[in-house]
């Protein structure tokens, strides 16, 4: 009986000391964290010309918005142009964005969004709503998307707006 316990104990010890490769295949993998920037892009109403108000504004599908990030040395470390969906919503997943200095390269300090292009010919003038001409700063609104091996931290910019080319009469699109 003692020899049976000794054999069982020896087998358990071998499993602990020399685990099988199959057991390692089920080891948890590192969770990937992505940075995402979201925004809405609108055509500002002529009634609100010269203000930051978006009362009466209409979303622009297919608008192009750039996201630029600079490192702590002021050099561009990330740049990409994204397109809004059919509702004017931008969901810009910053694939490949790297943080070198966790305080200075943090997306809140180092990244901004700018309007690039509007597909609506009658509403294609850049406006400075939410500082979009110089780069709309990002804000953290405690939004995250979780998956089993994925987490996205979502930052918001804007809303951003183009303005009509001609407000001397009512412009519709």
- pLDDT 10s digits, 34-81: 889 999 999 999 999 889 999 999 999 999 999 999 888 889 999 999
- pLDDT 10s digits, 1-23: 554 544 444 444 444 444 544 54
What's the whole-number mean pLDDT along residues 93-97? 88
Give yes or no for residue 30 having a pLDDT over 70: no
pLDDT of amino acid 102: 62
Rounded distance, CA 39 to CA 2, Å? 71
Decide: 35 and 107 in contact? Cβ < 8 Å.
yes
Q: How much of the chain is helix, strand and coil, in % rounded to 5?
A: 20, 40, 45
- Give the CA-trace dihedral at 7, 9, 14, 19, to 10 degrees: 130
Rounded distance, CA 127 to CA 161, Å? 6
In sequence order, the β-bridge partners of residue 138 are 157
Domains defined for the chain, CATH in brackets: 32-163 (2.60.40)
- pLDDT 10s digits, 147-173: 888 788 899 998 999 999 998 865 455
Prediction pTM value? 0.75
Rounded distance, CA 43 to CA 129, Å? 11
């Amino acid at each position: 009986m003692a020899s049976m316990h000794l054999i069982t104990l020896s087998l358990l010890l071998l499993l602990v000391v020399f685990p099988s490769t199959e057991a390692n295949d089920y080891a948890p993998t590192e969770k990937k964290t992505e940075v995402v920037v979201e925004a809405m892009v609108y055509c500002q109403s002529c009634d609100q010309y010269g203000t930051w108000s978006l009362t009466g504004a209409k979303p622009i599908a297919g608008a192009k918005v750039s996201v630029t990030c600079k490192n702590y040395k002021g050099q561009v470390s990330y740049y990409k142009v994204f397109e809004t969906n059919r509702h004017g919503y931008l969901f810009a997943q910053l694939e490949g964005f790297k943080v070198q200095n966790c305080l200075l390269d943090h997306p809140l300090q180092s990244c901004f969004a700018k309007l690039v292009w509007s597909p609506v010919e009658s509403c294609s003038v850049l406006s400075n709503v939410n500082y979009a001409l110089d780069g709309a700063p990002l804000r953290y609104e405690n939004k995250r998307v979780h998956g089993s091996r994925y987490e996205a931290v979502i930052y918001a910019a804007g809303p951003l707006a183009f303005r009509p080319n001609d407000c001397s009469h009512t412009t519709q699109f």
